[in-house]
Amino acid sequence: MKQNELRPPVGARHKRKVVGRGNGSGHGTYSGRGIKGQKARSGANIRIGFEGGQLPLIKRLPRKRGFTNIFKTEYNVVNVGRLAIFPPGTRVTPGELHKARLITTTDRPTKILGTGSVPHPLQVTADKFSSSAEKKILAAGGEIKQA
């Protein structure tokens, strides 16, 4: 293939819209500008969000407040009560939680929270534990291990 044989793919190039060449063309009379008004005139240059002098929507709405911390760590969160599905003495890891569909991904760190109760001892491995979750797992005779 030579450089002079290269062609853009079909549909990549659009034909220029030719306006003002009679009504038979479909773009005659108003040439796609509608009827009268500021946008029908020559030299019309209206900035985005301009509403003809009416207070624009962007100024009518309350402003956003505060900020978003871009360094925030997002955790997979699992409550202690959900761990009851595992049989006694099981090693519960993020991988096991993923298999049991208690978390959706193993890409994020996992945190165990204290809602609910653990009826039997489990060996739980996670990145973080809330203090109440720690107490409940240990009170049931289980073990915790920080990953």
* Domain membership flag for residue 58: yes
**In this predicted structure, what is the pLDDT of residue 63?**
84
Same domain? For 30 and 84 the reply is: no
**In this predicted structure, what is the pLDDT of residue 57?**
92
**In this predicted structure, what is the pLDDT of residue 62?**
87
* Domain membership flag for residue 84: yes
Same domain? For 83 and 140 the reply is: yes
**In this predicted structure, what is the pLDDT of residue 113?**
97
- What is the domain range of residue 46? 18-62
The Cβ-side half-sphere exposure at 11, using a 13 Å CA radius, reads 0
Same domain? For 33 and 80 the reply is: no
The CATH number linked to 129 is 3.100.10.10
Same domain? For 101 and 123 the reply is: yes
**In this predicted structure, what is the pLDDT of residue 88?**
95
* Domain membership flag for residue 112: yes
Same domain? For 58 and 81 the reply is: no
Structurally, the chain folds into a number of domains equal to 2
User: CB neighbours of 147 closer than 8 A, spacing ≥ 6?
Assistant: 93, 94, 109, 110, 125, 126, 127
Question: Using alpha carbons only, what angle is made at residue 136 by residues 135 and 142, rounded to the nearest 5 degrees?
Answer: 95
* Domain membership flag for residue 97: yes
* Domain membership flag for residue 39: yes
Q: What is the pLDDT along the chain (147 residues), one digit of tens a residue?
A: 899 999 999 999 999 999 999 999 999 999 999 999 998 999 989 999 999 899 999 899 988 888 999 999 999 999 999 999 999 999 999 999 999 999 999 999 999 999 999 999 999 999 999 999 999 999 999 999 998
**In this predicted structure, what is the pLDDT of residue 65?**
83
* Domain membership flag for residue 7: no
Same domain? For 85 and 50 the reply is: no
Residues 123 and 142: beta-carbon distance below 8 Å: yes
